[in-house]
Amino acid sequence: MLIDLHSHLEGRVRPSTAAELARELGVPEPEGGWERAIRLDGPADLTVYLQKVASTYPLFRSSAALERIAREAVLDAAAAGLDYLELRFGPATHTDTGRGLEQVIAAVAEGMRAGSAESGVPSGAVVAALRHHAPEANLAVARAAAAAAGAGVVGFDLAGDELLFPELEPHADAFAVARAAGLGITCHAAEAAPASAARDAVELLGATRIGHGAHVADDPEVLRWCAERGVVIEVCPTSNWFTGAIRDIADHPAPVFREAGIRVVLGDDNPMQTGSDLAAEREVLVERLGWSAADLAALDAASLEAAFLEPAQREALHSTL
């Protein structure tokens, strides 16, 4: 079963679509073309990685573009064999004077609905607040996400450059709004910051899932704490190598999480940047990290339980499993 619980809309833009939208929107073509602008050449650090992801931001300037990118992301996931996809995105990055947060979120949700209707693969949108934005701005994002709960939006996240903006407490009010609306809570944490960031995300923001969390493995106390409290870690091995969170894919801490009793789920993060989709990430677990068939079965079960799904959707996927 292929359940993707950590994937960014901005990291799923087809290069061919980028070229077409750029012409329509009057965005200059980058030197070397869009594929070169989008794709990473190799490992670097989180800041460089996010700069590559940001190369697609000018293409999100219209509601029609947002709908198209979201629809194609779901269709591409279905073509790759996925059974369920959660797509996260930062709407505040894509607003302008004529289109506010509500319109951006609605356009993405509509595109995802269309992709799911065409493909038969369910999907849910996870709205992301961004670390480098002011708390007031992220509070507005949370309110817009809360208003769209049940209309395509299933979760709330904090994303962005953890190296440069590690603080979580300023965004606690935004997460309180999202929790009150019944949205699932995840948070990028302990990817570039120490293990304690994951615990902070749980205690300060109410996160039940931690995005990446690579450095949780560095601290036995935090590792044990996460296992005892049922915290789920969304692992994206290839992405963590590209961001410099790990030295080599073979060093990824997913086996450490598993052995500590932490539930692990899988994501492909930004597959257009890394060139690795969810099926390839699953192969990494088996071929590079020693995952067994039983380990994969446990991952599938954890993914179904941790996904921000409606009960009927979860039951339907259970029957598939």
Which pLDDT belongs to residue 15? 94
Closest CA to 176 of 209, 130, 222, 135: 135
Three-class SS state of 263 = strand
Least confident of 14-28, 44-58, 220-234, 278-292: 44-58
For residue range 296-308, what is the model confidence (pLDDT) as tens digits? 999 999 999 999 9
Report the distance separating Cα 145 and Cα 271, nearest Å.
Answer: 25
Question: What is the chain's alpha carbon radius of gyration, rounded to the nearest angstrom?
Answer: 18
Q: Is the pLDDT of residue 312 over 90?
A: no
**Arithmetic mean of pLDDT, 174-190:** 98
Q: Is the pLDDT of residue 321 over 80?
A: no
Three-class SS state of 181 = coil
Q: Mean pLDDT, the chain, as a whole number?
A: 95
Residues 6+ apart with CB under 8 A from 267: 4, 5, 6, 7, 211, 234, 235, 236, 239, 278, 281
Residues identified as active-site: 191
Q: Is the pLDDT of residue 47 over 90?
A: no
CATH of the domain at 310: 3.20.20.140
For residue 42, name the pLDDT band (cuts at 50, 70, 90): confident
**Arithmetic mean of pLDDT, 274-289:** 96
Q: Is the pLDDT of residue 44 over 90?
A: no
| Strands across the sheet containing 123-130 | 3-8, 84-89, 123-130, 153-159, 184-189, 209-212, 232-235, 263-266
Residue bearing tokens 């080599």:
248
Report the distance separating Cα 86 and Cα 174, nearest Å.
Answer: 20
Q: Quick one: tokens of 118?
A: 């065409």
For residue 48, name the pLDDT band (cuts at 50, 70, 90): confident
Q: What is the DSSP letter of 94?
A: G
Backbone angles phi, psi at 247, to 5 degrees: -75, -30
Residue numbers of the domain that contains 175: 3-320
Q: Is the pLDDT of residue 320 over 80?
A: no
Crossing angle for the helix pair 196-205 and 220-228, to the nearest 10 degrees: 40
Which pLDDT belongs to residue 118? 98
Q: Is the pLDDT of residue 310 over 90?
A: no
Which pLDDT belongs to residue 301? 96
Report the predicted TM-score, pTM, of the whole model to 2 decimal places: 0.95
Which pLDDT belongs to residue 146? 98
**Arithmetic mean of pLDDT, 49-53:** 86
Closest CA to 126 of 140, 145, 147, 107: 145
Q: Assess contact for 151 and 109: CB atoms under 8 A.
A: yes
Q: Is the pLDDT of residue 51 over 90?
A: no
Q: How many domains in the chain?
A: 1
**Arithmetic mean of pLDDT, 142-162:** 96
Which pLDDT belongs to residue 319? 83
For residue 50, name the pLDDT band (cuts at 50, 70, 90): confident
For residue 180, name the pLDDT band (cuts at 50, 70, 90): very high
Report the distance separating Cα 45 and Cα 203, nearest Å.
Answer: 27
111: left (phi over 0), alpha (psi -120 to 50) or beta: alpha
